[in-house]
Amino acid sequence: MGEVKAHARRSCKTIALRYRFVLNNQEDGKSELQFLPHELIKLEVDVSKEPTPEPEPEVVYVDDVEYLRSLDPKEWKKQDHYKVLGIEPLRIKATEEIIKTAYRKMVLKHHPDKRKAQGEEILQDDDYFTCITMAYETLGNPVKRKSYDSVDPEFDDNIPTTSEIKKDFYKVFDKYFQLNSRWSERKKVPKIGNADATRDEVDHFYSFWYDFKSWREYSYEDEEDKDKCTDRDERRYVDKLNKAERLRKKKEENSRIRQLVDLAYNNDPRIIKFRQEDKDKKLAIKKAKQTAAQAKRDEEERVLREAQQAKEKAEAAERAKIEAKRQEREALKRVLKREKKTLRDFCKSHDYFVTNPDDNLKHLTALERLCEYLTVEELGELNKNLKNNGKSAFMKAIKENDAKIEAERMASTQTYQQRISEQVKNNVVKVNPEWTNDNIQLLIKAVNLFPAGTNQRWEVVANFLNQHGTISENSSNFTAKLVLAKAKDLQNTDFSKNNMKEAANKEAFNTFVKEKKATVNVKDTEISKKDGKKEAAPKVAASKVVAPKVTPPTPTPAPMTNGDATTSTWSKSEQQLLEQALKTYPSSTAERWDRIAECIPNRSKKDCMKRYKELVETIKAKKAAQANLNSK
C-alpha cells in the first residue's frame, strides 16, 4: 500500500511504497526470500473544498492634514486612531507592521521639528502630533489595541430588520455573522451556509453561536482613571466602579449576540423544514405505534377469545368426565349394594351358618365387617363360593378378612410410632447453659476485660463466654440477658466474698485515667471544709492542668446498709474523680449517675448524687453571701 502526500502545488505525488517479502522453504532445505511488490495505486486529492488563504490587504496611507489639525490633544481618547495614522479603511485588519509603517510616515512628515524647520508655528502644549503619538501607543500595544477595537466607533452593533430578512435570509445573516465573528475567541468560525446545508452543519453553526465566546471588553471606555487616584482606597473604589460598568456592557453585548442568533434561528427556513420533518416523523412514529398497539390489542383479544373458548371446551370435557365418573361410581354403588344384599340374604337364609346360638352375634358382626371391607369383585367371588361350599367358605372369608384388618392396623401403628419418634428426635428442647465454676471465672474475667462504657458490653461478654466457656450439647449459648442476670446475682451476694465489683471498679478507673489526661487543680484540704474559692463547683469552669499519674486507692470492703456508705467524708482523690466524671458525662448522658458511680471506687450512685447536691447548695450559699456583701 502506498503512502501519498499532496505537494505544495496541490499535485499528487507518490513519495514512498511498501513492499512484501515472503520467505519460501526449498526442497533442498534452503530458504529463499521472494519479493512481491504491490500494484501502484494512483490517488487524487480534492482541493476544491480547502480554504484558500486570504490575500494581504492593499495598504493605502492617507494623510488627512485638515483632520489632524482639527484634533484636540486633550481629547485624544475620543479620536479615531486608525484615521489619525492614515489607515482608516483597514482598521482591525491592519497588521503590526502596517501600523508601525504608518506611524513612521506620520513622524517623518508631522514631527514638530520638521514642521518648525518649514516655518510653521508650533504650540508646545496644543499640538496635534500628540494625537499621532497617542494613536500609535494605543494601536502599537496589543492589549490597548484590543481594548480600543472592542469599542471601535465604526463597528455596526445593529441586528437585521424584518424587511432585510425577507429579502435574502442567507445573504443578510451571512453579512452580520461575518461582521460579529471578529469577536470570537476561537479562530475557526463556521459560516451560515445556504439552503443545501445538511442538518449536522446547521446544528454545528447554531451550537457555535449559542456557545459564543467573545473577547470583547470595555476597559477603554472607563469613565474614571485609576492612575489619577491619590490613595489606595480611592483606587479600589474607582476600580470597583469600572468593573461594574464593564460587566454591564459585557452582558448587553452577550444579549445582543444572543438576540441575533435567536432571530436567525427562528427565521431560518432550514430550521423550519427540519422542524416540519421532525414533526412528520413523530406523527408517523405515533401513528405506527397506534397501529401496532391496535394490532396488539386485536391479537390479545383474539388470543383471549380463543383461550376462553378452549377453557369452556376443557370445562365441558371436565364436566363430562366428572359426570361419567359419577355415573360409574353410582353404578358401582348399585352393584356393591346388590352384592351386599345378596350376601346378607344368603347368610340370613342359612341362619348365618351358626351351630351354637352364642356365636350368632359374632357371625353377624363378622358379616358386617365383610360387607364393609370387601370390594365388589371380592363380594361376587364370596357369593359364588358360598353357594358352592357354604359354611366353610364363610368362615374362611371371615378369617382372611380379620387377618387383613389386623395387618393394616399393625402397619398403621408402626408408622405412627416411627413418625412420633422422629418428631421427638427433631424437637429436642435445649436448656440454658450451666454456670459451672469455670464459666463464672470466665464471666468475671470478661467483666474486667470489657468494663462499663463498652459498646454493647453484655453482648460482647456473652460472645466471649460462648467462645471460651464450657457448653454441653443439649444446652443453648449464653445470651446477653443470661449474662447480665448472673452478673447482678453475683453482685447481690456478700461483697466480702467476691471480688468481681472490686476488679471491675479497678479496670474502669484505670481506663478512665488513661483516657482523661486533665483534671481540676484542687487543694489538699477537703472541699466540704473550704470557705473560700469555688474550685469544687460541678458547673463552674476550672483551669485545667496536666494531671499526674494517679494510682487508684485500694478499695476496702465496708459494711453496707441499704446501699448507703457509712463513710461521709470525701477524700481529695474521690472529689477529683467526681468532678472529672461530671465533666465527662454531661446531663444528656443516658444513665449518667450509674456511669459516674462506676468511675469512683467505694461510692454508690446515691453517694455521688448526695455529694453533688451538697456542692450545689454550698455554691448557692456562697453566691448569696457575696451578693449581700456587694449590696452593702
More confident residue, 21 or 340: 340
More confident residue, 98 or 120: 98
Report the C-alpha gap between 587 and 245 in whole angstroms.
59
pLDDT above 90: percentage of residues in the chain: 30
Residue 600, pLDDT above cutoff 70: yes
pLDDT above 70: percentage of residues in the chain: 79
Residue 216, pLDDT above cutoff 50: yes
Q: What is the pLDDT of residue 375?
A: 87
Q: What is the pLDDT of residue 146?
A: 92
Q: What is the mean pLDDT of residues 385-396?
A: 85
Contact 86/61 with Cβ under 8 angstroms?
yes
Residue 54, pLDDT above cutoff 80: no
109 CB burial (10 A radius; 0-12, 13-18, 19+): middle
Q: What is the pLDDT of residue 229?
A: 80
User: How do residues 485-542 score in pLDDT, each as one tens digit?
Assistant: 988 888 876 544 445 555 555 666 666 666 654 443 444 444 444 444 433 333 333 3
Residue 596, pLDDT above cutoff 50: yes
Query: How many CA atoms are closer than 13 Å to the CA of 17, on its beta-carbon side?
Result: 11
User: How do residues 251-260 score in pLDDT, each as one tens digit?
Assistant: 999 999 999 9
More confident residue, 516 or 100: 100
Report the C-alpha gap between 231 and 614 in whole angstroms.
66
Contact 151/221 with Cβ under 8 angstroms?
yes
Flag the least confident range among 80-89, 115-124, 273-282.
Answer: 115-124
CA angle centred on 489, ends 484 and 491, rounded to 5°:
95
CA angle centred on 597, ends 592 and 598, rounded to 5°:
100
Q: What is the pLDDT of residue 565?
A: 37
Q: What is the pLDDT of residue 176?
A: 93
Mean of per-residue pLDDT scores for the chain: 80
Q: Which of 513, 623, 604, 610 is nearest to 558 (CA)?
A: 604
pLDDT class of 55 with cuts at 50, 70, 90: low
Residue 290, pLDDT above cutoff 50: yes
Q: What is the mean pLDDT of residues 579-596?
A: 85
Q: Which of the given ranges, 185-189, 547-551, 578-582, has the highest pLDDT on average? A: 185-189
Residue 97, pLDDT above cutoff 50: yes
Q: How many CB atoms lie within 10 A of CB 374?
A: 21
Q: What is the pLDDT of residue 426?
A: 63
Residue 605: which region, alpha, beta or left (left: phi > 0; alpha: psi -120 to 50)?
alpha
Cell (9 digits) for 266: 427562528
Q: What is the pLDDT of residue 52?
A: 55
Q: What is the pLDDT of residue 558?
A: 37
Q: Which of 384, 372, 373, 376 is nearest to 334 (CA)?
A: 376
Q: What is the pLDDT of residue 469?
A: 85
Flag the least confident range among 21-30, 151-160, 397-406, 583-592.
Answer: 21-30
Residue 597, pLDDT above cutoff 50: yes
Report the C-alpha gap between 413 and 538 in whole angstroms.
79
Residue 301, pLDDT above cutoff 90: yes
Residue 139, pLDDT above cutoff 90: yes
Which amino acid type is present at position 208?
F
Q: What is the mean pLDDT of residues 599-626?
A: 87
Q: What is the pLDDT of residue 250?
A: 93
Q: What is the pLDDT of residue 550?
A: 37
- Put simply, whether the predicted model's pTM sits higher than 0.95 gets the answer no
Q: What is the mean pLDDT of residues 297-325?
A: 94
Q: What is the pLDDT of residue 53?
A: 56
Q: What is the pLDDT of residue 372?
A: 86
Cβ-Cβ contacts under 8 Å for 516 (sequence gap 6 or more): 547, 580, 584
Q: What is the mean pLDDT of residues 417-434?
A: 73
Q: What is the pLDDT of residue 206?
A: 94
Q: What is the pLDDT of residue 555?
A: 39
